[in-house]
Chain A
Amino acid sequence: MAGNMNITLKVWRQKNAHTKGKLVSYDAKDVSPDMSFLEMIDEVNEVLIKKGDEPIAFDHDCREGICGMCSMVIDGRPHGPKEGITTCQLHMRSFKDGDTITIEPWRAKGFPVVKDLVVDRSAFDRIIQAGGYISVNTGVTIDANAIAISKQDSDKAFDAATCIGCGACVAACKNASAMLFLSAKVSQLSLLPQGHPERMSRVENMLQQMEDEGFGNCSNTGACSVECPKEIGQEHIARLNREFIAAKASSENV
């Protein structure tokens, strides 16, 4: 079709967690600008499968920007050149005919590569398990409006709650720090009254877990917020710092 593009891909191929990987070149021919980035890779994989080659392994699920599964560093940027979207929401119209696109997995000690572009993000699950929850007693359903929450606080908590846990913040950070993810989870629950009973232990335990997983230290470059598909801001990291200082100064955990 007229307007279709030919693109060269350089994709990170790695058999499994224990082997060394390398960049391998592929030609993506006759790519429609209306395709999503993942559809383009699907097409490349079709060709590979027909040839009897191993298709490129990559994470994906909902393909509408809400599940947080897709994870690719495209030309050095997590989720590609556009801001505020995930890889699955990126379209080939953002590229030009003849472009060479380099695709790499998230790079962090806390996110070991499983295969090709697939990384193991269960470190995030363990950070959540360390305190990213509220305890609710079983029994009758409580009236949703029983506790008054200001509009401002509910808006801020919701901004934090938009985090889909994709890990782009870690991938973007020069220190591979998970501070933006952590701050979104801590912010969301510390802004709401339901999160207050575990408030102090939460921030202490979640930060400890983040360090134990081997993520780096935040140095406020702000790269995470720029690359975050949900545009979670730096003010959440400031809130995390406040929560941590307050918890360390006044919690009963000695």
Chain B
Amino acid sequence: MNWFTSAVSSSVGKKIMMALTGLFLCSFLVVHLIGNLQLLNLDLGISFNTYAQFMSHNPVIQTISKGNFAIILAHALIALFLTRQNAKARPIGYQVKKGSANSTWSSRNMGLLGTILLVFIAVHLYHFWWAVHYGGSIPTREYLTDNGDIVAYTDLYQAVWFAFSNPFIVAFYVLSMIAMGYHLYHGFASAFQSLGLNHIKYNFFIKVLGFLFYFVIPALYAYIPLKIYFLTCCSSSSCSH
């Protein structure tokens, strides 16, 4: 097993772990976004709350969710370890720094961007995940199903709409998504490079997929709170928010 631990703890091994955990989290972004887009359905929340009910009760999803938390933690901890190790590799720094001449801002600030995202994840979980699972403060809403049954779901839809009527929460979410865009601007393509996938045949696809992940997906995530804010703000008589 010595070969295995030495492989994983080596410089290349750690970057591969960063790449694999990062790409897993990218796949999570896609699933989470598809669910979140249901928030924009003006259907009193039936589609979104059905989705939320499924996500918070299905045992398979619950297991994946725990794995997801573990992977976020692993990604952050390996990054922390790498950052500390890298700081030690240059005990005396330069008086004049000119990183902008040879690398992108994102690539030099992944730690900062990652920390912003970690804070965002903590706040985001407290807002909604904690409220659903342990808060007990969100009321339920009853829906009539197609076969005539009445079902009661936690009305997360209403809770989200209420939260996003607050301009500060909306600003926090939008800024966090900008940070995510910058994080993925370096991170997504970098993950493939770390896995050794740098080849004329597929670099084009990594570029196109990269644009999807660093621009389109964060933009859609940011669009949801903005859209809800403007819908609630402009429908209320005072527009006092």
Contacts and interface: CB of A to CB of B under 8 A. Distances in A.
A102 B198 contact: no
Contacts of B16: 241, 245
B2 to A, nearest CB: 6
**Which 7 pairs from chain A and chain B are nearest by CB?**
A76-B98, A216-B89, A238-B198, A242-B196, A175-B86, A226-B102, A176-B89
B90 A107 contact: yes
A77 B95 contact: no
Contacts of A107: 90, 92-94
Interface in B188-228: 190, 193-199
A126 interface: no
A211 B2 contact: no
Q: Is the interface of A mostly helix, strand, loop or mixed?
A: mixed
A234 B107 contact: no
B99 A223 contact: yes
Contacts of A73: 94, 96
Contact of A219 (B96, B99, B110, B197): B110
Contacts, number: 139
A238 B193 contact: yes
Given A208-B10, A238-B193, A223 B88 contact: no
A164 interface: no
Interface in A54-90: 73, 75-77, 81
A73 B103 CA distance: 16
B34 to A, nearest CB: 29
B82 A217 contact: yes
B7 interface: yes
Contact of B107 (A176, A216, A217, A222): A222
Contact of A75 (B10, B88, B98, B186): B98
A116 interface: no
Interface residues of B, number: 42
Interface string B156-196: 00000000000000000000000000000010001001111
A77 B101 CA distance: 8
Interface residues of A, number: 50
A221 B11 contact: no
11 contacts: A76-B98, A108-B90, A175-B86, A177-B89, A217-B82, A217-B89, A219-B86, A219-B107, A238-B198, A241-B16, A245-B12
Contacts of A23: 95
B101 A226 contact: yes
B221 to A, nearest CB: 25
Contacts of B93: 107
B10 A218 contact: no
A211 B95 contact: no
A207 B11 contact: yes
B101 A218 contact: no
Interface in A201-254: 207-208, 210-211, 214-223, 226-227, 234-235, 237-242, 244-245, 248, 251, 253-254
